[in-house]
Amino acid sequence: MRIALSFLTRIPMGRLETPDYMRDLGRAAGFFPLVGLLVGAICLIAWLAGRLLFGPAVAGVAAVAAGLGATGAVHLDGLMDAADGLLSARSRERMLEIMKDSRVGVMGAAAGALALMLRWALLLELTPPRAAAALLVAPAVGRMVIPLAAVRWPPARAEGMGAAFGRHVGGAQLAGALLGGLTLAVGVPGLLAWWGQSPAAPPGLTAAVTVSALRGLGAWLAALGVGLAGGRWLSRRLGGLTGDTYGALCELAELAAIACFALQTGRWTG
């Protein structure tokens, strides 16, 4: 868990003694949704502070900024690098070269800006109960797709961070990530709805709890769908996946999950 936190976040973990960092990171891939939940908790605290002090617009900015700070924007960077390469309309080899370049091009900057604006806009569409659920669930199910992509598709390069990580991710890690993501996606919204229900409500499952759990299930399915469809498309274009594409899939899966919580705002309660 510590090694997953050290890679996916900027939370200080102290000195990690490991003879093979990428091997241990691959073996810890089943814990990625739990790391996402912690990132989501940081975003939620920032969102609550922004809403209390200013309002929903500032709260959305605070949540987005907190997520970038907690992760070092590692997944957004992957999305931007992937956009630079894939949208260059070049050969496979040239796309991979562009993605390795640390400089950001026009398409990468545009993709990053659009992703941030969409995240902020979706948060504005959410009622407070659903915003809390979305902020906690989306980072968890987003990171769930990383081990999925590592197991499902080969690396695009024989060497590199993506290949070094992917060769140590197996069925056990994938099962742990999928099950952990599903548990959090269904359990967190249901628990928040149960905790926020009226004291006069009857004990046991209520309509609000059921609807919230189903909405979380929809977010899990959306993230899974993005991971599978996006990974397949990327693998066809690049002949496999890279570390940058893992980050891009995580970012897109998070957005899909938040979008599920924002659907049909005027027709849902809670």
Q: Which of 74-83, 151-160, 170-179, 201-210 has the lowest mean pLDDT?
A: 201-210
Q: Residue 204: what pLDDT?
A: 54
Non-local (6+) Cβ contacts of 157 within 8 A are 96, 163, 240, 242
Q: For 250, how many CA atoms within 13 A lie in the half-sphere containing its CB?
A: 29
What SS3 state is found at 24? Answer: helix
C-alpha span between 202 and 1 (Å, rounded): 39
Name beta bridge partners: 241: 155
Q: Residue 200: what pLDDT?
A: 56
The DSSP call for residue 265 is G
Mean pLDDT of the chain: 90
Using one digit for the tens of pLDDT, what is the confidence trace for 217-235?
999 999 999 999 999 999 9
C-alpha span between 266 and 270 (Å, rounded): 11
Name beta bridge partners: 155: 241
Q: Which two tokens stand for residue 146?
A: 């990383």
Q: Residue 3: what pLDDT?
A: 87
pLDDT at 268 over 60: no
C-alpha span between 119 and 40 (Å, rounded): 13
Sign, CA dihedral 265-268-269-270, equals negative
What pTM was computed for the model?
0.92
Distances in Å between the Cα of 73 and the Cα atoms of 12, 52, 194 are 16, 25, 33
Non-local (6+) Cβ contacts of 55 within 8 A are none
C-alpha span between 215 and 210 (Å, rounded): 9
Give residue for tokens 């200080």.
Answer: 12
What SS3 state is found at 201? Answer: coil
Q: In terms of pLDDT, which residue wins out, 199 or 25?
A: 25
pLDDT at 161 over 70: yes
Alpha helices in 20-154 (DSSP H): 21-27, 32-53, 56-71, 74-86, 92-100, 106-124, 128-152
- Encode burial over 68-81: b for 16+ CB neighbours within 10 A, e otherwise: bebbebbbbbbbbb
Domain spans of the chain, in order of start: 2-267
Using one digit for the tens of pLDDT, what is the confidence trace for 39-59?
999 999 999 999 999 999 999
